[in-house]
Amino acid sequence: MMARARLAAALILAMAILSCLRAESWDPCIQVVPNISYQCMELNLYKIPDNIPITTKMLDLSFNYLRHLGSHNFSSFPELQVLDLSRCEIKIIEDGTFQGLNHLSTLILTGNPIQSLAWGAFSGLSSLQKLVAVETNLVSLSDFPIGHLKTLKELNVAHNFIHSFKLPEYFSNLPNLEHLDLSNNKIQNIYYEDVKVLHQMPLLNLSLDLSLNPLDFIEPGTFKEIKLNGLTLRSNFNSSDVMKTCIQGLAGLKINRLVLGEFKNERKLKRFDRSFLMGLCNLTIEQFRIAYLGEFSGDDTDLFNCLANVSGISLLSISLGSLQALLKDFRWQHLEMINCDFEKFPALKLSSLKKFVFIDNKGISSFDEFQLPSLQYLDLKRNHLSFKGCCSHTDFGTTKLKHLDLSFNDVITLSSNFMGLEQLEHLDFQHSTLKQINAFSTFLSLRNLRYLDISYTHTRIVFHGIFTGLVSLQTLKMAGNSFQNNLLPDIFTELTNLTILDLSKCQLEQVSRTAFHFLSSLQVLNMSHNKLLSLDTHLYEPLHSLQILDCSFNRIMASKEQELQNLPRNLTWLNLTKNEFACVCEHQSFLQWVKDQRQLLVGAEQMMCAEPPDMKAMPVLSFRNATCQMSKTIISVSVVTVLLVTVVGVLVYKFYFHLMLLAGCKKYGRGESTYDAFVIYSSQDEDWVRNELVKNLEEGVPPFQLCLHYRDFIPGVAIAANIIQEGFHKSRKVIVVVSQHFIQSRWCIFEYEIAQTWQFLSSRAGIIFIVLQKLEKSLLRQQVELYRLLSRNTYLEWEDSVLGRHVFWRRLRKALLAGKPRSPDGTADAETDPQEATTST
């Protein structure tokens, strides 16, 4: 009895404490956009939170336990436009559940084991355009109460148990329906009665996806006179005979885009009888795509006869063997062959073809001429092709070509000057090996060319007239090549319209004094990763339009005082990092200029001294002009003193910044943060920070305010003071971008050590680690504390793929939203534990 009494008392006390808490203080939902968008996924919710604003337009309640949706369940959100109820264990949806949601355009019910769906479940959705009911135990479209949704454009009922393709009569009330996804259901047979509604009231823009259904039979005449925008049949047939029979059942269909074949990971048939395509003769097709079929049996000379009148055809991962000459009367305008197997280059003779894409194909090594008199766009990249004589109109059988891509191939011998190809506007040779480019003015006739890429083509520029004739060129990329005597000569005299020039990694040691004299329109110039010894600004003086100049990763020591005034007036971005600066009194004017031009210089804090030895690897900004005024006698007498003071200073410096940090935490600890996060990174990772991190976070939704040294630090204030006062004290969190460059940077490690102290001192602080690349453990173990932290804590890994990027930004945003004030009046500051990242060692 005593134990029960104590338990009851404890429960009463707990309930009393909980009753005193405001709902806002423990609401777990993440406010993505204040008063607009809220994310409440995976929070074990059994009902909709009470304190979500009435103005909410986007609400994500996925992965919760909302098993029963009653009448007017969402009437508190009249402005709602997108509602995600994926995998919420929903079993019952009553009449009027979504009543009042007049603005709702997207409703997602994926992955719910619905057992009871009332006929009025979707009433009130007068603006609904997209309904997703994937994996909802749906067995028939007739039982799906959506006949009143006149605004519906997309219906996705894939991955269900639908056995019949019969389209109910209510489809006649859906005039705006454009996409119906029935893929991965149980449909085996399609009869005329199933599509009767389409005969009575055609939906001209309707696209059907029936992929992954085990089709056995389509009644002949079922689709006769029916017009569809698209039909997809992939991985549907268990045999070539079944496939042939079903295609014959499509006779009479008029369709804009037909897709046949299989999926890469859903291969049912290894070999196909070419006769299955004969059934396409009875269809009217505008565009045709066939994907992931095995080898065709039989002769392929008339393989595509039934497709002679399509405007576009796409072949993906098809084994075609030796494709014979295609007939001249085919009216194809667009032909695409990607990742196919050939025995030799296809002999094409298509008079109407305008665009030919031939990428990543196998089994061929040499290029054969073809006759395509109307061709305007030709893409032959990544085929390992060799061209013995390139390029003229006789190679491609056309004089109308505007786009030519021969990149990522083997040896290309330029034996002609593009005779007959005068209309070319885009030409790409990158990562192919060019030969005879110096023999004569190869590009003389290309007066309309606007884009030329010869990067990494193993080209050594000797002939000064190599670019003669390119009077309209706007972009020239020639990175990764070389020049005679490592000298950039006067080879751009006719490129007066050039706006972008890439000369990176060309082993340049010198530049002709007049090399850039005719490039008055140039806006971007990349001279990085060369061997330049000085910043000779006289070279860039004629570039009146220049805005971006990259001279990083050279051997620049300094620039003369009189030359520093010659930089173009429009220059807004100058990168001099990773050079070999001499921090000596001889270059005092240049060093002072660096300090004065921090807004112009990108990563000025990462500009390091290479000389003298005592300043090696020290920031250029740390150079003090006062030392140059001291006499030699004073310097020699002060050496011992300076050494002693340095030792003491280092110790004081180390503890000074920690004390500074502690004082700042007390001063700013209770105030609001100016920034959402302070970013610590290596200058060599700056491109990623600018192009990926800043762009996605500051320009995204919601926007986050990042603290970046090159933009937000106060000029004239010591770097360390800026780091502490502007970086740590005014930021809610710290983002550490870890890479091999980061580990090797003393300055980055310093910032990281201060960040550790900051995290310890500030109760609201948090450090988010982002690993850009796989790190060598031997290199990582050099920084013991960092190695231990990465081994024991959660961090984010960057993966440059569509899925990887999506997951990365989603998790990073969730981490940054944790602790962010939920409303402008600051009444709710709920913390979220961002433990969603993947831990790895």
pLDDT of 621 higher than 60: yes
Give me the residues paired with residue 296 across strands.
272
Among the listed ranges 38-42, 73-77, 727-731, 777-781, which one has the minimum average pLDDT value?
777-781
Question: Cα(78)–Cα(178) distance, rounded to whole angstroms?
Answer: 26
Cα–Cα distance for residue pair 428/39, rounded to 1 Å: 45
Rounded to the nearest angstrom, the gap between the alpha carbon of residue 441 and the centroid of all alpha carbons in its chain is 39
Question: Per-residue pLDDT tens for 384-406?
Answer: 988 888 888 888 889 999 999 99
Dist. CA 480–CA 9, nearest whole Å: 78
- E strand or H helix that includes residue 428: strand 426-428
**Cα dihedral across residues 219, 224, 227, 233: positive or negative:** positive
What residues does each domain of the chain span?
474-627, 677-813
CATH number of 677-813: 3.40.50.10140
Residue of higher predicted confidence among 457 and 831: 457
Give the sign of the dihedral formed by CA 55, CA 58, CA 64, CA 70.
Answer: positive
Q: What is the pLDDT of residues 116-144, one digit of tens each?
A: 999 999 999 999 999 999 999 999 999 89
Residue 546 pLDDT > 90: yes
Q: Write the CB contacts of 774 (distance below 8 Å, at least 6 apart in sequence).
A: none
Q: What is the pLDDT of residue 199?
A: 87
Task: Give the chain's count of helices (H) and strands (E).
Answer: 15, 46
Residue 28 reports pLDDT greater than 90: no
pLDDT tens for each residue of 226-257: 999 999 999 998 888 888 889 999 999 999 99
Which residues does 129 contact at the CB level (< 8 Å), separation at least 6?
A: 105, 106, 151, 152, 153, 154, 176
Structural element, H or E, at residue 757: helix 746-761
| Whether the predicted pLDDT of 99 surpasses 80 | yes
**Burial of 634 per CB tally in 10 Å (0-12, 13-18, 19+):** exposed
Which one has a higher pLDDT value, 476 or 585?
Answer: 476
Locus of tokens 């983002």: 735
Distances from the Cα of 480 to the Cαs of 449, 457, 505, in angstroms? 22, 8, 5
Q: pLDDT over 90 for what percent of the chain?
A: 48
CA distance 231 to 485: 61
Which residues have C-beta within 8 Å of that of residue 609, sequence separation ≥ 6?
A: 581, 582, 583, 615, 616, 617, 618, 619, 620, 623
Residues with Cβ within 8 Å of residue 227, at least 6 apart in sequence: 202, 204, 254, 255
pTM over 0.75: no
Would residue 347 be called left, alpha or beta, if left means φ above 0 and alpha means ψ between -120 and 50 degrees? beta
Amino acid identity, position 837: A
Q: Is the pLDDT of residue 23 over 90?
A: no
- For domain 474-627, give the CATH number: 3.80.10.10
pLDDT at 328 over 70: no
Token pair 């500030």: residue? 762
Q: Under a CB-based contact definition with an 8 Å cutoff, are residues 222 and 197 in contact?
A: no
